[in-house]
A and B are shown apart, each in its own frame.
Chain A
């Protein structure tokens, strides 16, 4: 349904439109991944693309994460523009050697002779009762690696536009897509210019506190901010969007304005994206702070199957609302 320049679509449809756009724009682009073709994508994201683009452009691959991710890297070096889909982030550990030792490393190790313009997409996240081995949040693993560009699609806009922007990168890009959001509908602004993958995005402006988040934390924080607004608290919500290299200028400026920071993520607390953000705030704008930096993170437990335990293992909207109130009214 088109309303002026906005379209209301599901997160899944937004992803598919992004993939279709990059396939149409450049003959060198092809999508490879487990079940992307005949099955239509494990999450139906690529449904219909095989029929539209053919087997040469939509390649089903065997369950060989290291093999096909490495092949994507090789194809990128040799002049193609592969979009490699790892069905879920959980399986990406099997391809970690290729991503870390090859994709991220070849440019520097070869003295700049080789660049690797591969894009690797992964479904990820918690919230579908898939239990411990299918609910990982590995953003911090990849954000740790120099040489990678790491993006997180926390909104429908980014689900639609991160991929076309990533395809312009000469260097390897990892895109995290959140499977718990696939059926969620939202309006996406038609934006032929695309999005800027070097910048974080201020999703809501506010003056009282900076809520810094990414991924599934974005909509939860936006909803919390609306509830806080009804209590007279004006929260700014920052979607990091790019987890490496971090756009620290945006969140440091925000914290310098609001003087308070809450960092929200589903991932485990220790050695996480939030630890890094907190450290940078302390290092660079400590004297701007009116309150200690706080973090809401995942509880450090393998994600359990029952819904009530799973929900309790990650920050929810009410937790964000409560925490902000505590920071503002200590």
Chain B
């Protein structure tokens, strides 16, 4: 792990480790449930990228809003949405955080200021700018935090959004999770300028790239970014260079990348690295880890049990929520 100014205390260190391990275990379980056909549709796993969600979201306040992508289980868990509500959502049960209507790609929880689960690549960036514009007009000190991949940074909406955010001086934290593959196409085939942070600078936006496999580095960078946004009210682009260890989705045979590349990146797995850091610093004991893992195992199993026991929405309610007024 890189040397960093940040000082981790036992309590927060354990919490971050818990969050990362919860995301990892939850998704492994989700993949299992997918192979058993309990979960259908698309399932995009975040495994390998956990340090980004955990590192960035800890820097936000509960009033700040989060908009994410279709690979958002990690962000939803790091935000504190219950694993049970998320698993039930993937099962399509009405106990899910979107009443089962969204599924894996559309996790919403307004009470946690979590606005999706948006599955059109880059489509949520303009909304994140608009939400920040509203907070500016309302003179609220809230940040709109928008996660997206490097694939999104090739879309026109990315460029429009950065321009608008900079033009209007609105508090958006743009977090680009650069995992090097837009679905199955490597960044060398999709970006003429692969140092993505330079795209923020082009719009006059304070921008930084950080090692997204290193939790401490992400914590540091995210804290710095949010402090700056709160002070200036201006947008910030944080590029987190990371890697997904799993396929793009459960349908993906991974023909586009070498196994050796994946194995190389796995050596930089953020979870054992952070665990080792905490142990080396004598902030946690082996027993702490055992307790943590047992707790996670139990929570994930509870989530599956909750989803299994959940109820399906009656077909009579199919057209609810198309309009606010159900008579329409």
Question: Hey, which bits of chain A sit against chain B, CB under 8 A?
Answer: 30, 56, 61-62, 64, 66-80, 82, 97-98, 101-102, 106-115, 146-147, 149, 170-171, 245
Contacts and interface: CB of A to CB of B under 8 A. Distances in A.
A70 B324 contact: no
Given A67-B161, A80-B134, A109 B106 contact: yes
B91 interface: no
Given A56-B137, A108-B101, A111-B102, A74 B130 contact: yes
Contacts of A115: 324
Interface in B218-241: none
Contact of B322 (A71, A75, A77, A108): A108
Contact of A75 (B102, B125, B133, B320): B133
Contact of A70 (B117, B132, B157, B323): B157
- Of A64, A73, A76, A171, most buried by chain B (CB within 10 Å of CB) is A64
Contacts of A72: 130
Nearest to A64: B160
B123 A70 contact: yes
Contacts of B277: none
B260 interface: no
Interface stretch (B15-23, B73-81, B107-115): B107-115
A73 B138 CA distance: 16
A101 B123 CA distance: 8
Contacts of A61: 164
Interface string B123-159: 1111111111111011000001000000000001100
Given A78-B134, A106-B116, A146-B322, 13 more contacts: A62-B164, A62-B167, A70-B126, A71-B161, A74-B131, A75-B131, A97-B123, A107-B324, A111-B99, A112-B321, A147-B322, A147-B323, A149-B328
Contacts of B108: 109-111, 113-114
A146 B323 CA distance: 8
B65 interface: yes
A183 to B, nearest CB: 33
B190 interface: no
B315 to A, nearest CB: 15
A295 B123 CA distance: 38
Interface residues of B, number: 47
Most buried by A among B118, B132, B133, B157: B133
B284 to A, nearest CB: 37
Contact of B101 (A77, A82, A102, A111): A111
- Most A CB contacts (10 A, CB to CB) among B96, B117, B124 go to B124
Contacts of A147: 322-323
A79 B161 contact: no
A110 B164 contact: no
B137 A30 contact: yes
Nearest to A118: B130
Contact of B129 (A30, A71, A76, A108): A71
B58 interface: no
A78 B65 contact: yes
A112 to B, nearest CB: 4
B100 interface: yes
Given A70-B130, A113-B98, A102 B123 contact: yes
A149 B328 CA distance: 10
A105 B109 CA distance: 16
A113 B115 CA distance: 9
Contacts of A78: 65, 130-131, 134-135, 138
A243 to B, nearest CB: 13
A97 B323 contact: no
B120 interface: yes
Nearest to A244: B328
A96 B130 CA distance: 17
28 contacts: A61-B164, A64-B160, A67-B157, A70-B125, A71-B161, A74-B126, A74-B131, A75-B131, A76-B130, A77-B134, A78-B131, A78-B135, A80-B133, A80-B134, A80-B138, A97-B157, A102-B118, A107-B322, A107-B323, A108-B322, A109-B102, A110-B101, A110-B110, A110-B321, A111-B102, A113-B110, A171-B324, A171-B325
